[in-house]
Amino acid sequence: MVEQYDVIVVGAGFGGPVAAKQCADSGLHTIMLERSKIPGEKVVSGLVIPVYGFLFGPEFIREGNPPIERPIRSVMNRFVKNGEIYASDHSLRLPAPFTVGYSTYCKPFCIWLADRAVDSGVELRTATTAVDVIIENGFVRGVITDKGEELRSKIVIDAGGTQNNLSLKAGIRKKFVPEAIELYMIWDFEMAKEDVDSVFGNSMEFFHAMPDEKIGAPLGYGSTLYFFTYRDSIHPGLGQFLVTEGKIPNVAKLLREYFDNFTTKVRRWREDIAPKVKLRAVTWDVCPIYAGLIPEMRKMPYFGNGMLIIGDAAGFESAAFGDGVPSAWFSAEIAAGVALESIKAGDTSKAFLKRYGDRVKADPFIMHTITDTRRWDMREVLKSKSENEHKKRIRDHWGIGAFRYKYMGGPCLKATGRSIKNDPGIIAKWPEMFRRYYRNWEENRFDRLSTD
């Protein structure tokens, strides 16, 4: 059976529902396919979405009541030597209700996003995988599902994330190279809300050390050990790139070793945290965080005849912080706008869709964040082994220095100017969002989900 749509969106993670909703709001007949039974189920368990995603991303999120776990108001950087914390940097902290980001579990957040898309008229098919693309005369004309259905459309938006090869099948992109990919191990611990409040407050916490300490990957070859804090749980997480100093180590084994070392040596864990937590789950995932730093990856297209690629599938994760939700949202909005224009013009050619590429490049954040070398450059500290240089770079990365003009300050100013030009009323809406999100968190009251 052949079914015809204007737009097929593949993937109901963070980016897909935003693109699908905007297409449907513009009057396009839109379907969204999701391989898992419930949106968000196949995305990483939980994360912290930086605030710039909310401020400059889709209006319906900013003005809605999505299920957040904890407003994150500060970053606590701890420096560890010989198993002891010898210095801390808490320079990045904001007064309530302002935040640097919001922690959330992916499942409820993606359900909330998909619910908004369905409210706008999107047909959502879960437990349905797009296994191939339909190509005719060099144009993507739809997808084939795992059930053998043939779904046809004028445009396919690939929002299928990292572990999805539709754009490869369409001949538009190639596989991510191993140097770009970080393997993550994440521990999900229950912790009573009062304990999270007293031990961490509204902070997320990072533990930085030189490689000899073996509580994390060599500098620049992974993420430092981080603790994301939720309402009544915490996630320590560790990551390392599949290729480290030109070699392919057994990363899965190393990550376990680093965490074992941390939990046996560091007093902050043994005395403040361990007595109050209970392990619930251990999860693994991969992220192509350095895709924007590797020229052959960065140069790969994210559009072709009849197809637009957004979010992780296009390699839009930030190289310095590993966050990808803001760029998934920004690229989703750009893609939906271009899909509408191309369908109206009756031209879905690569030449027409080039405007998607141009707008992605003109976005204040996407290119800036995927080419940020701060994390990669940490490897230089390895050579000098200088503690002072290490601390200085951490302050510029995870501390107050993150707001310097050449880092996030410049893009934020540019995006602020652009947003005010488009809608001067946004100046009042931003503080209102901070207040409402904070109140929602304090009262633990969010929009009901379709799965409740």
Ligand X SMILES: Cc1cc2nc3c(=O)[nH]c(=O)nc-3n(C[C@H](O)[C@H](O)[C@H](O)COP(=O)(O)OP(=O)(O)OC[C@H]3O[C@@H](n4cnc5c(N)ncnc54)[C@H](O)[C@@H]3O)c2cc1C
Residue 392: phi and psi, rounded to 5, are: -60, -45
Q: How far is the CB of 56 from ligand X (least distance, A)?
A: 13
Angle at 408 between CA 383 and CA 231, to 5 degrees: 95
Dist CA 105 CA 173 (whole Å)? 30
Q: Compare residues 85 and 144 and give the one whose CB is closer to ligand X.
A: 144
Within 10 Å of residue 231's Cβ, how many Cβ atoms?
17
Angle at 313 between CA 55 and CA 23, to 5 degrees: 60
Q: Under DSSP, is residue 415 helix (H, G, I), strand (E, B) or coil?
A: helix
Nearest alpha-carbon partner for 267 in 98, 84, 124: 84
- Distance in angstroms between the alpha carbons of the first and the last residue of the chain: 33
Task: Tokens 């995006």: give the residue.
Answer: 415
Q: How far is the CB of 106 from ligand X (least distance, A)?
A: 7
Dist CA 252 CA 23 (whole Å)? 41
Q: How far is the CB of 103 from ligand X (least distance, A)?
A: 8
Q: Compare residues 10 and 343 and give the one whose CB is closer to ligand X.
A: 10
Q: Compare residues 155 and 328 and give the one whose CB is closer to ligand X.
A: 328
Nearest alpha-carbon partner for 15 in 364, 336, 289: 336
Q: Compare residues 142 and 161 and give the one whose CB is closer to ligand X.
A: 161
Q: Compare residues 71 and 160 and give the one whose CB is closer to ligand X.
A: 160
Written as one letter, the residue type at 384 is: S
Q: Compare residues 182 and 391 and give the one whose CB is closer to ligand X.
A: 182
Q: How far is the CB of 432 from ligand X (least distance, A)?
A: 23
Dist CA 406 CA 401 (whole Å)? 10
Q: How far is the CB of 236 from ligand X (least distance, A)?
A: 12
Q: Compare residues 322 and 399 and give the one whose CB is closer to ligand X.
A: 322
Q: How far is the CB of 337 from ligand X (least distance, A)?
A: 17
Peptide bond into 97 cis (omega under 30): yes
Q: Under DSSP, is residue 362 helix (H, G, I), strand (E, B) or coil?
A: helix
Task: Tokens 């002891």: give the residue.
Answer: 84
Q: How far is the CB of 84 from ligand X (least distance, A)?
A: 28
Q: Compare residues 185 and 215 and give the one whose CB is closer to ligand X.
A: 185
Task: Tokens 């296009």: give the residue.
Answer: 314
β-partners of residue 205 are 76, 227
- Whether 6 and 154 have beta carbons less than 8 Å apart is answered as yes
Residue 61: phi and psi, rounded to 5, are: -75, -45
Dist CA 404 CA 368 (whole Å)? 13
Which helix (H) or strand (E) is 214 found in, with range?
A: none
Task: Using CB atoms within 10 Å of the CB of residue 346, give its burial: 0 to 12 exposed, 13 to 18 middle, 19+ buried.
Answer: exposed
Length of the chain: 452
Q: Compare residues 317 and 381 and give the one whose CB is closer to ligand X.
A: 317
Q: Compare residues 120 and 126 and give the one whose CB is closer to ligand X.
A: 126
Q: How far is the CB of 163 from ligand X (least distance, A)?
A: 6
Q: Compare residues 210 and 329 and give the one whose CB is closer to ligand X.
A: 329
Nearest alpha-carbon partner for 200 in 277, 129, 134: 277
Q: How far is the CB of 242 from ligand X (least distance, A)?
A: 13
Q: How far is the CB of 187 from ligand X (least distance, A)?
A: 12
The residues binding ligand X (CB under 6 A) are 10-16, 33-36, 42-44, 47-49, 129-130, 159-161, 164, 166, 184, 186, 285, 287, 311-313, 317, 322-325, 328
Q: How far is the CB of 237 from ligand X (least distance, A)?
A: 6
